[in-house]
Chain A
Amino acid sequence: MAKECAVSKLDKGFLVCDETRSGLIPALQEIQDKKGYISDNDMQAVADKFGIHPVEVYSVATFYSFLTTRKRGRHVIRISECISNTMAGSRKIEKEFEKALGIKISETTKNNKITLERTGCIGMCDKAPAAMIDDALVGNITVAKVREIIKSLK
């Protein structure tokens, strides 16, 4: 995976090397990981490297809920709102996050640190209420744990 590749020229940190269309989503995921979102310029650059129209890149980037074309917080908290989670009180947890962060769902804190979102089932129904804190799956969240979680985010 580590050979020099098209997208790597975009930014030295990128290691994606599959220049066929199949490599498009990994390339976008990489940008998302490194920069937190995929800017218009990045979409144009990716389109150039893959030899496709930027609108195609945009159409793919906007299809997936974990890819974003708008700036957001350095950390993303996604609270699962599937039925097992709602029954276990995920709305209460959500309210506590909103209170602690001073924002509403789908908003980002003023210092661009944390974005709060809802998401579908994250496969943690046995440990509901659960959330994704960036890439980590965290289960059995209690109101008391909410502030702890926020504190742990640098």
Chain B
Amino acid sequence: MQSKREGAVIFSGIEKYAGIKQALEMGRKEVLSEVRDSGLRGRGGAGFPAGVKWNLVAAAQSEKKFVVCNADEGEPGTFKDRIILTEYPGLMFEGMIIAAFVSGAEKGFLYLRGEYKSFLPLLNRVLGQMRKDGVLGKNILGKKGFNFDIEIRLGSGAYVCGEETGLIESLEGNRGEPRNRPPFPVNTGYNGFPTVLNNVETFINIPHIVKKGAEWFKSFGTEKSAGTKLLSVSGDCKNPGVYEVEYGITIKELLKIAGATEVKAVSAGASGECISVSQFNRKICFEDFSTGGSLIVFGKNRTMIDVAENFLKFFKDESCGQCTPCREGIPVLLEGLILIKKGECPKDYLDDLFSLSETMQLASKCGLGQSSPNPFVSIINNFKSEYKLSKIAKKEKVFNG
């Protein structure tokens, strides 16, 4: 596991199993407070503090507990987990083992998206080696009573299973339809047991934090977004790829690294914001321009309405259909977008579409539905010069929506 990449935290060098050894030396309580003090926030996009999750699971009284790693990255333009899973899988598993040690879980799952099925042989080989090395199995590294093993479960091509409760439903053998939250997985997770559920990138930060300390970790990033972020940069740029950057980097700086010139827009995946040049001084962090890892670059000659159409079609395909705002709202937005594209959308109908978007953001059951109007809203707001509204009033037009 020689690090081939360069980065301040995730790609900074660390000895094999150093994190686990350090954790066993420190003891549960100290590891917990270290993770909490580090301010590490969930890297899947939502940004919930990992330390808070871990504390809740550790404090829960239960005969069984679980650790689940979310490797179901499906956000358009995201491939950072692919790099971790193929180049640093051991370090990610170490993070899960430390989570198990702290929380008292004896079983872990890696929920691997079906698209990444070809990584299975490699991942199983790594797990096999870790069992041989005594960091998985019974009495890990000689610590009596510390038993933990990891099983890999495959997804089957459903974006919504990247939502934590959808993922748990899928693990339990059901349709991957997200649940109402609360209750949260920390107390009612896999099969109803307390579950630590974090993203691949969140787990890979853990061995570094435990070994090098919360203070060291906090020296990177911004006040509210400690550490670094793996960004998957794609689209119209010379050097697409995965970059580890400190939180707080501006879009402009990042575009320079990625070799993107003549850029019109940047989008944080399908569910994030899509912004134009005037906002390129914004910082990538939870408190400003937030992304789960996707950064898609759009060159000067791209039509942004087409981009919004692609994103909405994606959401239409991936909506699980259980709640009304998402299931019914997305097709209406899509139809509206086609009207806008044709220049046939009345101003007052656009207002209706914005109000529908707000309803979807507020009333959808899960993150997919809540964020599905984002590309519509941000592209229509940020790229006004790319479309013309119809002068006809809404009531004079007939809609099938």
Contacts and interface: CB of A to CB of B under 8 A. Distances in A.
Interface of A: 20-26, 28-29, 59-60, 63-67, 81-84, 86-87, 119-128, 132, 135-137
B236 interface: yes
Contacts of A26: 153-154
Contacts of B177: 63
Contacts of A84: 76-77, 234-235, 240, 296
A64 B176 contact: yes
A65 B157 contact: yes
A23 B242 CA distance: 34
Contacts of B153: 25-26
Contacts of A126: 79, 232-234, 240-242
B215 interface: no
A15 to B, nearest CB: 14
Interface stretch (B138-146, B167-175, B206-214): B167-175
A87 B303 CA distance: 11
Interface residues on B, range: 35 or more
Interface string B108-145: 00000111111000000000000000000000000000
B158 A123 contact: no
Which of B171, B175, B176 has most A Cβ within 10 Å?
A: B175
Nearest to A18: B173
B335 interface: no
Contacts of A81: 310
Nearest to A20: B173
Please classify the interface of chain B as helix (H, G, I), strand (E, B), loop, or mixed, using the class held by over half of its residues: mixed
Contacts of B203: none
Interface stretch (B24-32, B91-99, B311-319): B311-319
A120 B175 contact: no
Contacts of B296: 83-84, 125
B78 A121 contact: yes
Interface centre among A60, A84, A119, A127, by most chain B C-beta atoms within 10 angstroms, is A84
A123 B78 contact: yes
Nearest to B114: A66
B394 interface: no
Interface in B313-342: 314, 317-318, 320
A136 B118 contact: yes
A81 B307 CA distance: 12
B3 interface: no
Contact of B156 (A66, A83, A121, A127): A66
B368 to A, nearest CB: 12
A25 B174 CA distance: 8
Contacts of A137: 115-116, 118
Contacts of A136: 118
A136 B121 CA distance: 12
A87 B171 contact: no
Top 4 A-B residue pairs of the complex, sorted by shortest distance between their CB atoms: A64-B156, A24-B173, A125-B234, A66-B157
B54 interface: no
Given A66-B114, A87-B236, A137-B115, A123 B157 contact: no
22 contacts: A21-B173, A25-B154, A25-B156, A60-B173, A63-B158, A64-B156, A64-B157, A82-B76, A82-B310, A83-B311, A84-B240, A87-B235, A121-B75, A121-B314, A123-B115, A124-B79, A125-B232, A126-B79, A126-B242, A127-B240, A128-B234, A137-B118
A87 B302 contact: yes
A2 to B, nearest CB: 13
Contacts of B172: 21-22
A22 B170 CA distance: 8
Nearest to B298: A87
B156 A65 contact: yes
B242 to A, nearest CB: 7
B240 A123 contact: no
Given A84-B296, A125-B232, A135-B117, A120 B76 contact: yes
Contacts of B320: 63
A86 B158 contact: no
B234 A25 contact: no
Given A59-B175, A84-B235, A123 B79 contact: yes
A45 B235 CA distance: 46
A71 B257 CA distance: 47
A38 to B, nearest CB: 11
B179 interface: no
Contacts of A63: 158, 175-177, 320
A25 B158 contact: no
A83 B173 contact: no
B74 interface: yes
Contacts of B175: 59-60, 63
B276 to A, nearest CB: 16
Given A60-B173, A83-B307, A121 B76 contact: yes
Contact of B173 (A22, A121, A124, A128): A22
Contacts of A22: 171-173, 191
Contacts of B176: 63-64
B174 A60 contact: yes
